[in-house]
Amino acid sequence: MKLIKELKEITQLPGISGYEEKIREKLIEIIEPFADYKVDKIGNLIVELGEGKERLLFMAHMDEIGLLITGITNDGKLKFRKIGGIDDRLLLGRHVDVITEGGKLDGVIGAEAVHLNLERKFDTLPWHKLAIDIGAESKEEALTLGVKPLDYAVFKKHFAVLNNKYVATRSLDDRFGAVALVEAIKDLVDHDLNGKVIFAFTVQEEIGLKGAKFLANSYNPEYAVAIDSFACCSFLTGDVKLGEGAVIRAIDNSAIYTRSLAKNVWKIAEKNEIPIQIGVTGGGTDASVFQDKSQVLALSVPIRYLHSETEMLHIEDLKALIKLIEALAFELE
């Protein structure tokens, strides 16, 4: 399936906040045959379709959570700090890819053997007490392998298709959003649109919506819509379920989104027979920074196990989201 192939291609690329170059290059490679693009000073990739009034802005962020290398110990281990919201429980005993200017190194965040844990205490160690082992026995040897401070690491990525309908992998947040915008651009590029529709692939979302804030200096759309993850599923998120359609993310920690816009989007989805859900979740999205100038909303697919190595979505939800984005480009007045 084309969507699964694209998801695999995009999710496997490393790129933490501030280091989105590889993702941006791949997206440009995909988009260039279909549409013109530009890259702004902070690194956002932007495609504009249609002419006239800035009617609608869609945003999906390119960056993922990961680890920034901050130093090398005398025995060759790599110290790091977390970039983005990573649960410390997910660090211990993990394989990672260390991304250097010259390529990629295998690394592990090791765990002490249970055989040596005489006190039988299994509390999670805080991130600042952990280190990445790349097999170097000294700082000098680590440097000869090409790693240095301000390089970065991401969890080793495994891509799985479960039961022919679910995709599970690291960095679906928010590479599924990037794929959704790419597919919409391909489908809309040769159509007449009522006003200008802007598609922005933003940077540094995971550390405070930095790319979107920069974008807000240049654009004043009537509607600003983030395409981002919906952490699912618990009593906190309402009745949202994987496999039941796209999601209107009505409320999160960054915004109470424009209620009239949410109702309008719901009507457009129903009119076009697009499966749609509505719910609340945590976190924040790029759309929230446009609240002082635009009607804002976040659209999503439900993601199980968000911000882990096993983020999971239902492929039919992604199909519904793409259809909804395209319908909004034509029908949102």
- β-sheet bridge partners, residue 249: 279, 298
Mean pLDDT taken over the chain: 93
Q: What's the pLDDT score for residue 230?
A: 93
Considering only CA atoms, which of 122, 83, 321, 322 is closest in space to residue 203?
A: 83
d(CA 204, CA 61): 8
| pLDDT, tens digit, 9 for 90 and up, residues 180-220 | 999 999 999 989 898 999 999 999 999 999 999 999 999 99
Average pLDDT over residues 85-97: 92
- β-sheet bridge partners, residue 279: 249
Strands, sheet with 276-280, edge to edge from the N-terminal-most edge strand:
38-39, 45-49, 196-202, 54-61, 223-227, 295-300, 246-251, 276-280
Which range has the worst mean pLDDT, 104-113, 239-248, 299-308? 104-113
Q: Supply the DSSP symbol for 269.
A: H
pLDDT at 120 over 80: no
Considering only CA atoms, which of 117, 106, 118 is closest in space to residue 78?
A: 106
pLDDT at 122 over 60: no
Q: Which residues, other chains included, contact 118 with Cβ-Cβ below 8 Å and sequence gap of 6+?
A: none
pLDDT at 235 over 80: no
pLDDT at 121 over 70: no
Average pLDDT over residues 249-258: 91
- Residue 115, token pair as written in the block: 């055989």
**Residue 6 annotated to the active site:** no
Q: Tell me how crowded residue 318 is: count the other CB atoms within 10 A of its CB.
A: 23
- pTM over 0.75? The answer is yes
Considering only CA atoms, which of 44, 58, 53 is closest in space to residue 224?
A: 58
High-pLDDT (> 70) share of the chain, %:
96
**pLDDT bracket for residue 333 (50, 70, 90):** confident
| pLDDT, tens digit, 9 for 90 and up, residues 22-58 | 999 999 999 999 999 999 999 999 999 999 899 999 9
Q: Tell me how crowded residue 304 is: count the other CB atoms within 10 A of its CB.
A: 18
| pLDDT, tens digit, 9 for 90 and up, residues 131-148 | 999 999 999 999 999 999
| pLDDT, tens digit, 9 for 90 and up, residues 310-325 | 999 999 999 999 999 9
Q: What's the pLDDT score for residue 117?
A: 64
Burial 2-31 (b: 16+ CB within 10 A, else e): ebeebbbebbbbbbbbbbbeebbebbeebb
Q: Which of 6, 205, 311, 326 is catalytic?
A: 205
Question: Domains along the chain?
Answer: 2-64+170-331 (3.40.630.10), 66-155 (2.40.30.40)
